């Protein structure tokens, strides 16, 4: 997939957290860490949007109490 360079401004604390992930070898570099994080958040937002859509199938929980 083609890549585009973008500039982002992050607060120092966020950048430190990203650098820690890279240092701990969870990601090869900052770009990979940021891209994975953005993609994960987008997936969650899209899933939530779909789940809130009226046509999304709903599950119902029925509890039957027996004596």
| Confidence at residue 7, expressed as pLDDT on a 0 to 100 scale | 93
Confidence category of residue 62, pLDDT binned at 50, 70, 90: low
> What percent of the chain lies above the pLDDT cut of 70?
75
- Over the chain, what is the mean pLDDT? 86
DSSP 7-47: -----HHHHHHHHHHHHTTSSSSHHHHHHHHHHHHHHHHHH
Contact, 29 vs 22, CB < 8 A? Answer: yes
- pTM for the structure as a whole: 0.67
pLDDT, mean of residues 18-29: 97
4: number of Cβ within 10 Å: 4
Location of structure tokens 């401004």: 9
């Amino acid at each position: 997939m083609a890549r585009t360079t973008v500039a982002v401004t992050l607060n120092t604390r966020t950048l430190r957290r990203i650098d820690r992930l890279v240092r701990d070898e969870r990601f090869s570099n900052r770009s990979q860490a940021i891209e994975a994080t953005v993609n994960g958040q987008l997936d969650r937002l899209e899933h939530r949007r779909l789940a809130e859509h009226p046509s999304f199938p709903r599950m119902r929980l029925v509890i039957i109490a027996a004596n």
